[in-house]
Structure 1
Amino acid sequence: MSRSALVVRGGWEGHQPVEATELFLPFLRDSGFDVRVESSNEVYADAAAMAQTDLIVQSVTMSEISREALDGLRTAVEAGCGLAGWHGGIADSYRGSSDYLQLVGGQFATHPGKEPSLRVGDSTDNYLGYTIELTDLGRTHEITAGLEDFALETEQYWVLHDDLNDVLATTTHPPQPYHPWHRPVTSPAVWTRSWGSGRVFVCTAGHSVDVLADDNVRTIIERGMLWAARS
């Protein structure tokens, strides 16, 4: 019996929500999901549709969400629907909603930039080389088991978070003379969260299609979606 996946995409175009989600549609279908794609989060307010959904994959950076849609999303996850996403499509969505932030457990705060003299005025100003390091839990969890620490050169998310998250991987922001913090700051890079009968999965890597195509990032996201989905 097939399961149902709902892909909701939109918001800030800089994260290429259409192109990014298109990368994963064949995987979802090959994994036995009937896939529905929506460009508006108002689908969350459709209680009948949400009751039939086993997995939500969200790629909506910033934007807004209505009270009805947010209530529908929270109700669906609490009832057992999985919620999965990457980068700003889940960790920088609906900045004005504290209830959404509570649901996902982490909010983008910043992505530290290069030394000022090296900046050229485009998105690459925030591309840094950094390492995603697996936690002890991450080395045994089904989403990340068998993987090793790996390096990326892209946006490195600084995330505000809470301890309801099960953190599978972290990344550390070193102090720099051109930044105002004075000691290393470690942020979760991959985490899961239980919410009622539902599961939430977040990977902070995924700024662009080439990052999503990285073998480690893609593996983590594909496994994360399967883990989150109602079984």
Structure 2
Amino acid sequence: MSRKKRALVVRGGWDGHQPVETTDSFLPFLGEHGYDVRVEDETRVYADAEYMAGVDVVVQTNTMNTIATDELWGLINAVRSGTGMAGWHGGIADSYRNSSDYLHLVGGQFVTHPAKAPRDELPGDGTDCFVRYTVDIVPDKADHPIVAGISDFELTTEQYWVLSDEYNDVLATTTIAAPDYHPWHRPVTCPAVWTRLWGQGRVFVSTPGHSLDVVDDPNVRTIIERGILWASR
């Protein structure tokens, strides 16, 4: 008799990314796909090597938080040994800023989300960086199981500018405009959805996912759900 699959949900950090609400919205999906789900509000579980060895996928949303060295290496070693890792937005691409080893694992670091207007014209109501932008599916990756059947789509939310490297398998991109009130001089195309192989494990990242309304977008939710399954052991 095969054992039941295990999913570990680790959430926390900045409340503005709604780590509880967004991860809760994926719990039924995990249950329907046969996962025994454990939810943690701290990263200490990553240091439990025996437990982590049996985790099939980590779903993390933990923005701007810190992590102890033994916890970080517990996570890295688990992924290298076959545990999958999946996440969205700042919960995976803006976690543990003090750790280059974490950045090396996930393959991308948030650096900004451009404002929608000059500073003196912004409303200051939490939507300053909500812009209308397009997520472009990479044509050569259109048959990848995470994005298959999904066409380019638009969102109005934070558009992530991420620093990344060519080891990522980029499935979708987004192009950041260069209005004259920003200091860069030309549009910049960044990864929006990517995967990364790390040892025996798989990593999945979606930069869309600022809040519950964004992950509820049908395209975003489909991509994240498929990404979790793809990353899983």
Which category of TM-score, normalised to the shorter sequence, fits these structures? over 0.9
**Corresponding position: 1:126 with 2:129:** yes
**C-alpha displacement at 1:97, in angstroms?**
0.4
Once residues 164 and 102 of structure 1 are traced to their aligned partners in structure 2, the CA distance between those partners, rounded to angstroms, is 10
Aligned ranges for residues 202-213 of structure 1 at < 5 Å? 202-213=205-216
**Corresponding position: 1:33 with 2:66:** no
**Aligned counterpart in structure 1 of residue 162 of structure 2, from 142, 159, 162:** 159
Partner of residue 144, structure 1: 147
Partner of residue 111, structure 1: 113
Helix, strand or coil at the partner of 1:137: helix
**C-alpha displacement at 1:138, in angstroms?**
2.8
**Corresponding position: 1:182 with 2:178:** no
Partner of residue 85, structure 2: 83
Partner of residue 10, structure 2: 8
Once residues 126 and 208 of structure 1 are traced to their aligned partners in structure 2, the CA distance between those partners, rounded to angstroms, is 13
Once residues 86 and 130 of structure 2 are traced to their aligned partners in structure 1, the CA distance between those partners, rounded to angstroms, is 24
Identity across matched positions, percent: 63
Query: 4+ residue stretches of structure 1 with deviation over 3 A?
Result: none
**Corresponding position: 1:227 with 2:230:** yes
Deviations 1:155-174 (A, max 9, x none): 00000000110000000001
**Aligned counterpart in structure 2 of residue 54 of structure 1, from 35, 53, 56:** 56
Query: In 2, are the aligned partners of 1:127 and 1:154 still within 8 Å (CA)?
Result: yes
Aligned ranges for residues 15-26 of structure 1 at < 5 Å? 15-26=17-28
Helix, strand or coil at the partner of 2:116: coil
Once residues 170 and 107 of structure 1 are traced to their aligned partners in structure 2, the CA distance between those partners, rounded to angstroms, is 15
Deviations 1:135-189 (A, max 9, x none): 0233010000110000000000000000110000000001101000111100100
Aligned ranges for residues 61-72 of structure 1 at < 5 Å? 61-72=63-74
| RMSD (CA atoms) | 0.8
Instruction: Give the number of aligned pairs.
Output: 230
Once residues 150 and 113 of structure 2 are traced to their aligned partners in structure 1, the CA distance between those partners, rounded to angstroms, is 25
Q: Which amino acid aligns with 1:11?
A: G
Partner of residue 42, structure 1: 44
**C-alpha displacement at 1:92, in angstroms?**
0.2
